[in-house]
Structures are given as C-alpha cells and as structure tokens.
Structure 1
Amino acid sequence: MRTNSPETKKTARELRNDPVLSKEYTKNKIQFQNYYFKLGYQWSKPDLNSIVCRFAVLIQVIRIKREELTESFIEYDTRFLGGNFQIPDSKELLLLIFLNAPLYQVFTTLRKCSKRKEKYYKDRVGQRFEIQIGYE
C-alpha cells in the first residue's frame, strides 16, 4: 500500500476519529525533570513503571506572584526523591492545575510566566497532556 494512497488516508482518518484509538496519540506534552511525589511517586514503592500518571487534563491556568506562594505549597510542588526543585526566580509564574481524570487526582506545576506561554496553556485548557519525565 502506498503511503499517500486513498486507502492510507482513509485509515488515518478512521484512526483519528476513533474514540478509543485517537486517545493513544496526544499532541500536548508537559515535561518534568524528576519523579515528583505530586505525580504519584511513592518512595516506599519505587516501581517506576506503575507509579506516575501518564496523561492528565489541564483544568486551570493561573498567573501568580512568587511571593504569594506559601512555603507549604512550594514544598508540595517541588518535592522529589532527591530533594526539592528550585522554583524560577521570576516575579510572576504560571500555576498549572492538572487532573488525572480516571483517578480524580489533581496536581500542579509552576512554570515561568510569559505572555506567549500563558496564551499557549490557556488555549489548551480542557485538553489532554502526555506527561514526560526525565529523558523518556
């Protein structure tokens, strides 16, 4: 079968529209450098294949000032097995809130704020993201 044939195009169209198979491909991706506890990593059960959610829906984007964050929130948001991630020194940050839909687990992440990034994430509220950790 040729790659540009009508049959190939029809098959691709059917896959894109299939309610189950189309979920296998997610164009939105969000990257984390470490296995964070907020993503489901449990140091008492270090089985990296089954601990972390792989997909989540972005449900909220909030512009927040660094000084508005409590130490408790920073501890929660930055904690991983090896310590804590350093939050960017930016005066304003984007607080992204995700929902791991099947389990109704919510987690957050902080990102540097720029108009471009804020628009990018706000345009994708309600969409599914693939969670990529480390060098996956």
Structure 2
Amino acid sequence: MIKLAMYFKRRTDGRFYKSLYISGNFIFVAFAMAWVIFRLYWYPCKLLYATLYGGVYLGPQDGKFMPLLGVMLILIYGMNVYWFNFIIRMVWRVASTGEDPEDNREYDTTAVSGLDQQKLDLIAAKKTKSRKKKE
C-alpha cells in the first residue's frame, strides 16, 4: 500500500495527488508503530518468554528441540531489530531532509552500471525493438 500510494501520487502527465501522498505517509507511520508494538514489544514479552521460560521450567523436561527453538526465535528477534534499524534510518532521513521516502533496497541500475538514465533507456529501447523483430 505504501509503495502504491507513493508511486501513484504523481502521474506521468504531471498531476499530483496530495491525498495519496498523505495516505502513504500515514500508512508508513502506522507500519512503523505496528512494528514497534508487535515485533519489538509483544514478540519478546509473550512468545519468547513463553518459549524460553515456559519451555524450560513448565514444559516437558524431555523436549529435545526446545533449546533449538529458543535459539531460532531469538535469531528472528535479532532480525526484527536489524530491520527496524532501516525503518528508523528512513524516518530520520525523511524527517531531517523533507524528501520523499523511497525504498533503499530497490535495485539502482545507474549506480551499478555507471551509465546515466538516458543511456539505460536507449539500451532498453534497442532490446525491445530487437525482441519485436524476432517475433
């Protein structure tokens, strides 16, 4: 939803839809708050506690895979903290610079290839023309 709102806020004919811009920002803030509440607070409070404490002291004493389960759940929590780092960095960048939020994980062909966007567009147009000729 966030990406759709950000992509559709400005059309190719130049029209700007402020409602999509505002709803995209609102959805992103709601996403960040939900991440904190559910993945950084409730996950360790409920699931990790129940698995680590309950599995060791209250559960069956012959559970062979309980330590492995606990380690894997802790690794997932570590990944949640790591991903939250990206969310916070994005919020900070948008708040401090005022630029539009964009996904840093997307593949940037200009940075990888060293070619500017016009040359990349020409290459893509040539490839589509050659494909049409083959058909």
TM-score normalised over the length of structure 1: 0.24
Larger Rg: 2
Structure with greater helix percent: 2
By relative contact order (CA 8 Å, sep 6+), the higher-ranking structure is: 1
